[in-house]
Amino acid sequence: MSDVIIIGGGPAGSTLGSYLSLAGIDNIILEQANHPRPHVGESLVTSTLVPFKEIGFLETMEREGFVKKFGAAWHAFSGNELSIPFKEWPHYGIDQDYTYHVDRSKFDHLLLKHAESLGSKVYQGVRVKQVLIEDGKAVGVRAQVGEAEFDLHAPIVVDASGRNTVLGRQLGIKDNDPIFNQYAVHTWFKGMKRSETDTGDYIHIYFLPVERGWAWQIPITDEITSVGVVAEREVFRQSHNDVAEFFNTYARSNPALSAALAPAEQINAFKTEADYSYKMQRFVGDGWLLVGDAARFVDPIFSSGVSVALFSAKLASEQIRRAFEMDDFSEAIFQPYEDRLLSGVQVWYEFIRLYYKLLPLFTHFIQSKEHRTQIQELLQGLVFDRKQVPVLDAMREYIKKVEASEHHLFKPQLTSVPID
Ligand code: FAD
C-alpha cells in the first residue's frame, strides 16, 4: 500500500511524484506505455523552469542538450513577422533568458526517471482500467498488465492520465469545450529552412487563412523540425478528411511557411489530434484529484499545456501534504487546489479566447508600451494565484469598442468567438 497512486507517467504524473517524494510522501506511478514514447507538445514556456528548479530537474535539461528556446515569432500571411525575445521579459525566480523545445519521448522519459530517482515507485506497461470507488470515495485502482488484472489501494488516487482522462470518463464529468473544436495534424521534417531572423531557436507560429487556423514550427534538433497545422474540425472535413491534403493545403497557404518547407523532407508519418478542448466538472473529490490534461485542456496556441501540467502537480502536491498533515482525504481538503488550478487555467483560456476573437489585437497590444509587459507575463505562463489580470479587461474593452464602431480598421477581422 502506497500513500498516493498516480495514474500516468507524463509530465504531470512524474512532476507530482517528484514533489511528493521530496515531501516524504510515498507514491507509486503506473504508466501504460513503455517510455520512451512519442507525444505532442514540444515547446515549453518559461514558467516551466520554476518547477524544474524546485524538483532539481533543470540540471538534466541543460545536460541533455535540449534545444534552447529564446523567443517566439508570429507570421501573418501578408509576410509580416513579429518576434519577441525572452530576454526582455520579466522573470520570476528564473535566471536564464531561455526555456526549451523538447523531443517529448526523451523529455518525458527523463522526467519519469527523475521521479524514480527521487523515490517514486514507477511501473511501466501497466494500464489503469478504473479507479476503485467505495462509498463515494476513491480507495485505489484496478490495473492490468497483459491479461492479468490486480487491485492496488491507497488513501489518495491522482489521475494524471492526460487526454485519456481515466477518472473523468469513469465519473462522466467531462464537458467538451463549447467554443473550440479543433483538429491538428503534425509531423517532423529534416532540412527545413529556418527563419533568417532567428537569433536563437524560436517557436514560429504561422497564421493561416481560415478561422482559428495556425501552424507551429518547433526545432527539435539542429536538423529536425516539428510542424503542425491546426484548424477547426469543420475545415478538416472540407478537406475530405484527408490528413495529407489537409496538412499540405494549409501549410502551403502561408507563404513564409511554404518557403521554409520547400527544401524539407518529411521523416515521420502524420499524427492527428482531435477534440482536445474540454474541462472536468470537478478536479477533486473524496480521495482523488485530477492533474494536467486529465483535469482540463485548453487550445495549445500559446504552448501552455506542459506548464499547466507541471504547476497543477506542484499545487496538488501542496494540498496532498496538507491532507496527510490533517489525516483528512476528503474533497473539502483538496478544494483549494481545484480553485487555484481552475482560476489559473481560466486566465489562459480567456487570453486564448480574446486572441481568437480578434487576431490583430494581440499584435497591437504586444507593440503597445502600456500592455506589452503584461502580455509577456501571460506568454511566459504567469497565470496562477493572480487576483487581477488587467490586460484581459483592456483587451475585452477594446474588442467591444471595435464591435460598436462602424468603420474601425479591425472590424472586418472580428470572428464569431463569443467573449462574454
Ligand atoms: P500526458 O503528457 O498525455 O501524459 C499522460 C500519461 O498517462 C501518458 O504517458 C499516458 O501513456 C499515460 N496513461 C494514459 N492512460 C493511462 C492509463 N489508463 N493507465 C496508465 N497510464 C495511462 N503543450 C506545450 O506545453 N507546448 C506545446 O507546444 C504544445 N502543443 C500541443 C499541440 C497540440 C495539437 C496538442 C493537442 C497539445 C499540445 N500541448 C502542448 C499540450 C501537451 O501535449 C499536454 O498539455 C501535456 O502533455 C500534458 O501532460 P500530462 O502529463 O497531463 O499528460
Least trusted range by pLDDT, from 117-126, 197-206, 366-375, 389-398: 197-206
Is the peptide bond preceding residue 36 cis, with omega within 30 degrees of 0?
A: yes
pTM greater than 0.95:
yes
What is residue 236's predicted lDDT score, i.e. its pLDDT? 84
Q: Which residue's C-alpha comes closest to atom 15 of ligand 1?
A: 161
Single-letter residue type at 61: M
- Average pLDDT estimate for 211-223: 92
- Give, for ligand 1, the residue of 303, 310, 312 to mutate: max count of ligand atoms closer than 8 Å to Cβ: 303
Q: Name all residues whose Cβ lies below 6 A of ligand 1.
A: 7-13, 30-33, 39-44, 127-128, 160-164, 166, 184, 228, 273, 276, 292-294, 300, 303, 305-307, 309
Q: Are 208 and 254 in contact (CB under 8 A)?
A: yes
What is residue 239's predicted lDDT score, i.e. its pLDDT? 79
State how far the alpha carbon of 348 is from the alpha carbons of 46, 182, 272, 380, in Å: 15, 17, 23, 11
Q: Are 155 and 20 in contact (CB under 8 A)?
A: no
What is residue 276's predicted lDDT score, i.e. its pLDDT? 75
Structure confidence at residue 206 as a pLDDT band (50, 70, 90): very high
What is residue 91's predicted lDDT score, i.e. its pLDDT? 64
- Measured in Å, residue 297 CA sits from the centre of ligand 1 at 10
Mean pLDDT of the chain: 93
Ligand 1 atom at minimal distance to the Cα of residue 143: 19
The residues pairing with 249 across neighbouring beta strands, listed in sequence order, are none
3-class DSSP state of 191: coil
Smallest CA-to-CA distance from 214 within 73, 104, 349, 373 is with 73
What is residue 331's predicted lDDT score, i.e. its pLDDT? 98
What is residue 38's predicted lDDT score, i.e. its pLDDT? 95
Structure confidence at residue 196 as a pLDDT band (50, 70, 90): low
Q: pLDDT: is 210 or 230 the higher one?
A: 230
Q: Is pLDDT of 366 > 60? A: yes
